[in-house]
Amino acid sequence: MLWVDKHRPKSLDSLDVHPELTTRLAAMSEDGEIPHLLFYGPAGSGKKTRVLALLKRIYGPGAERVRLEHRSFKTPSNRVVELTTVASNYHIEMSPGDAGIYDRYVVQDIIKEIAQNRSISASMGGGGSDDKKSKIGHKVVVLVGVDRLTKQAQAGLRRTMERYTSSCRLILLCHSPSKVIEPVRSRCLGVRVPAPSESEVCSVLTSVCRKESLTLPPALAARVAKVSKRNLRRAVLMIEACRVQQYPFSEDQEVQMTDWENYITQLAREVVLEQSPRRLLEAREKLYELLTNCIPADIILKTLTRELVKNLDCKLWGEVFKWAAFYEHRLHMGSKEILHLEAFVAKFMSIYKAYIIAEFM
């Protein structure tokens, strides 16, 4: 088992990052009744960990006994959409954005099904010993990546929330609440989960290594915290990769980056070296490979932009960032991600070649 799963906190009391937020969640779940919730924050900040700890607080250990299910959903055009869900007797977790343009049918069908099959906690004693918890009559639907849903799916989600609010509670997770429509946001209690500080990341890494009976140099922990950009999940994966690479740890040990990041770094280097139709075709093949390996298009664009400006004169930064923002907006408005990524690369080549020609004339 990966360390990130093995050492994931299981209860609210064991969460040692953002204690004030943990206190608020504990008070909110005291009687087992929660409103619809919208957790938002950067990747690796601990949104899902807090949701799972909250569910355990409400329903008890039964919320941890989950099963993996492969479900099929039928669209009005008789197309079958398959999706993988994680479910217990008290909740179901899914990422409806994986269904693409058919996410609307997935959201409506799953919430309707959950709402019609009321929680069995009332008959089995719920998750706690007190009477309040034993009377919980609703199930929880956890939707991951709500900001990736289409506008039609979000509109359908709003109507479904209103209709089944008595027997079903929704917990929504996203990176940016600005990409969630206002009617959905207004029906949820927003919970912001900020990224942990670098010192908190170092503390967690030291704690994980101590549980694994390893000695972690503070300098290496600080470098991992900085390179991971305060993404706690990524930091734990990096320190585990360092353990596989070399142990005992050394302070100047190389921190391994992910393969897809190295791939984008190589792509950026090639684009800066040569601007030609042949290079653009090669870049398109690399972008296709990243997309087919499930790297989100907006992450590709942000990482590529960051790597490109490392090799540029600061005079070009403003224009490159302007066009990166332009094509990121196009990514969210359009449907063919490869077209917008390729267009950004072509635009960068045009800008950079014009700058080089002007410099040498």
Q: Give the CATH number of the domain where residue 171 resides.
A: 3.40.50.300
Task: Indicate whether 204 and 187 sit together in one domain.
Answer: no
Residue 179 within any structural domain of the chain: yes
* Structural domain count of the chain: 3
Task: Indicate whether 182 and 212 sit together in one domain.
Answer: no
Task: Indicate whether 237 and 116 sit together in one domain.
Answer: no
Q: Give the CATH number of the domain where residue 331 resides.
A: 1.20.272.10
Whole-model pTM? 0.79
Task: Indicate whether 39 and 142 sit together in one domain.
Answer: yes
pLDDT band at 115 (very low <50, low <70, confident <90, very high): low
Taking residue 241's Cβ as centre, other Cβ atoms within 10 Å add up to 14
Instruction: Kindly state the average pLDDT of the residues 136-151.
Output: 82
Task: Indicate whether 221 and 263 sit together in one domain.
Answer: no
Task: Indicate whether 176 and 209 sit together in one domain.
Answer: no
What confidence score (pLDDT) does residue 135 get?
A: 54
Instruction: Kindly state the average pLDDT of the residues 191-207.
Output: 91
**Residue 120 clears pLDDT 50, i.e. is over it:** no
Task: Indicate whether 318 and 239 sit together in one domain.
Answer: no
- For residue 25, how far is the Cα from the chain centroid? 20
Largest CA distance in the chain: 82
Q: Cβ(145)–Cβ(95) under 8 Å?
A: yes
Least confident of 116-130, 191-205, 347-361: 116-130
Task: Indicate whether 235 and 263 sit together in one domain.
Answer: no
The angle formed by the CA atoms of residues 86, 88 and 94, to the nearest 5 degrees, is: 25
What confidence score (pLDDT) does residue 9 get?
A: 86
Task: Indicate whether 321 and 186 sit together in one domain.
Answer: no
Mean residue pLDDT across the chain: 84
**Residue 286 clears pLDDT 90, i.e. is over it:** yes
Distance CA 338, CA 344 (A): 10
**Residue 168 clears pLDDT 60, i.e. is over it:** yes
User: Which residues have CB under 8 Å from 258's CB, separation 6+?
Assistant: none
- Which residue range(s) make up the domain with 185? 3-192
| Rg for the chain, CA atoms, rounded | 23
132 versus 37: which is more confidently predicted?
Answer: 37
Left, alpha or beta for 78 (phi > 0: left; psi -120 to 50: alpha)? left
Task: Indicate whether 204 and 294 sit together in one domain.
Answer: no
Residue 250 within any structural domain of the chain: no
300 versus 313: which is more confidently predicted?
Answer: 300
Q: Is the peptide bond before 248 cis (omega within 30 degrees of 0)?
A: yes
Question: Tens digit of pLDDT for each residue in 206-236?
Answer: 999 999 898 989 999 999 999 888 899 999 9
| Distance linking the first and last C-alpha atoms of the chain | 59
Task: Indicate whether 48 and 68 sit together in one domain.
Answer: yes
Question: Tens digit of pLDDT for each residue in 37-91?
Answer: 999 998 888 899 999 999 888 888 888 888 888 878 777 777 777 888 888 888 8
Task: Indicate whether 132 and 271 sit together in one domain.
Answer: no
**Residue 10 clears pLDDT 80, i.e. is over it:** yes
What confidence score (pLDDT) does residue 350 get?
A: 92
